[in-house]
Amino acid sequence: MAVTQVITLNQSEYHHHLTIIPPVSGLSLRGRIQVPGDKSISHRALMLGALAEGETVIHGLLLGEDPRSTASCFQAMGAEISALNSDEVRVGGIGLGKLVEPVDVLNAGNSGTTLRLMLGILAAHPGRFFTVTGDGSLRSRPMSRVVKPLQQMGGEIWGRKDSSLAPLSVRGQTLRPIHYQSPIASAQVKSCILLAGLMVEGKMTVTEPALSRDHSERMLRAFGAEIVIDPETCSATVIGPATLRGQTVVVPGDISSAAFWLVAGAIIPGSDLTIENVGVNPTRTGILEALALMGADITQENPREVAGEPVADLRVRYRQGQGAPLQACTINGDLIPKLIDEVPILAVAATFANGTTIIRDAAELRVKESDRITVMATQLNQMGANITELPDGMEITGGTPLTGTEVDSHTDHRIAMSLAIAALTAKGTTTIHRAEAAAISYPSFVATLKQVVQQ
Ligand code: S3P
Residue 53: φ, ψ to 5°: -95, 135
pLDDT at 323: 85
CB within 6 Å of ligand 1 — which residues? Answer: 40, 43, 113, 186-188, 191, 212-213, 340-341, 364
pLDDT at 455: 65
Choose the residue to mutate in 47, 118, 145, 212 for probing ligand 1, maximizing ligand atoms within 8 Å of C-beta.
Answer: 212
Choose the residue to mutate in 188, 189, 195 for probing ligand 1, maximizing ligand atoms within 8 Å of C-beta.
Answer: 188
Alpha helices by DSSP H, listed for 22-97, are: 39-51, 65-75
Q: What is residue 108's three-state secondary structure?
A: coil
pLDDT digits (tens, 9 = 90+) for 50-82: 999 999 999 999 999 999 999 999 999 999 999
Query: Where does the pLDDT of residue 14 fall: very low under 50, low under 70, confident under 90, or very high at 90 and above?
Result: low
Longest Cα separation, the chain: 67
CA distance 255 to 277: 9
- Cβ-Cβ contacts under 8 Å for 182 (sequence gap 6 or more): 145, 149, 189, 190, 206, 207, 208, 209
Q: For the chain, what is the mean pLDDT? A: 96
SS3 content of the chain, % helix, strand, coil (to 5): 35, 30, 35
Q: What is the average pLDDT across 254-264?
A: 98
Neighbours of 133 (CB within 10 A): 18
**What is the residue with the minimal CA distance to atom 4 of ligand 1?**
341
Altogether, the residues listed in the chain come to a count of 455
- Does the pLDDT at position 216 exceed 80? yes
pLDDT at 23: 87
Phi-psi category of residue 299: left, alpha or beta, with phi > 0 → left and psi -120 to 50 → alpha: beta
* Closest alpha carbon to 209 in 123, 119, 145, 293: 145
Query: CA torsion, points 157, 161, 167, 170, in degrees to nearest 10?
Result: 0
Cβ pair 295, 352 in contact under 8 A? no
Q: What is the average pLDDT across 174-192?
A: 98
How far CA 323 is from CA of 320, 383, 399, in Å, comes to: 9, 21, 9
- In the chain, the amino acid numbered 322 is Q
Query: Where does the pLDDT of residue 1 fall: very low under 50, low under 70, confident under 90, or very high at 90 and above?
Result: very low
pLDDT digits (tens, 9 = 90+) for 411-442: 999 999 999 999 999 999 999 999 999 999 99
Q: What is the residue extent of each domain of the chain?
A: 2-37+252-454, 39-250
Q: Is 341 a catalytic residue?
A: yes
Fold of 39-250: UDP-n-acetylglucosamine1-carboxyvinyl-transferase; Chain (3.65.10)
- In the chain, the amino acid numbered 376 is M
- Does the pLDDT at position 330 exceed 70? yes
- Residue 341 class from Cβ within 10 Å (0-12 exposed, 13-18 middle, 19+ buried)? buried
CA distance 407 to 437: 13
- Cβ-Cβ contacts under 8 Å for 375 (sequence gap 6 or more): 410, 412, 415
DSSP conformation class of 126: T
How far CA 325 is from CA of 27, 214, 319, 354, in Å, comes to: 15, 33, 6, 8
pLDDT at 2: 41
Choose the residue to mutate in 220, 340, 366 for probing ligand 1, maximizing ligand atoms within 8 Å of C-beta.
Answer: 340
Angle between helices 372-382 and 343-350 (to 10 degrees): 30
Fold of 2-37+252-454: UDP-n-acetylglucosamine1-carboxyvinyl-transferase; Chain (3.65.10)
pLDDT at 12: 61
Catalytic member of 38, 313, 341, 412: 341
Same-fold call for 2-37+252-454 versus 39-250: yes
- Cβ-Cβ contacts under 8 Å for 170 (sequence gap 6 or more): 119, 122, 123, 129, 130, 131, 132, 155, 156, 157
* Ligand 1 atom at shortest distance from the alpha carbon of 189: 14
* Closest alpha carbon to 51 in 85, 88, 100: 100
* Ligand 1 atom at shortest distance from the alpha carbon of 40: 11
Q: What is the average pLDDT across 349-362?
A: 98
Helical (H) or strand (E) element with 408 = strand 406-408
pLDDT at 387: 98
Q: What is residue 281's three-state secondary structure?
A: coil
Distance of CA 337 to the CA centre of its chain: 11
pTM: predicted TM-score of the whole model, two decimal places: 0.97
Least confident interval from 27-31, 143-147, 246-250: 27-31
- Does the pLDDT at position 196 exceed 60? yes
CA distance 10 to 1: 19
Neighbours of 142 (CB within 10 A): 14
**What is the residue with the minimal CA distance to atom 16 of ligand 1?**
186
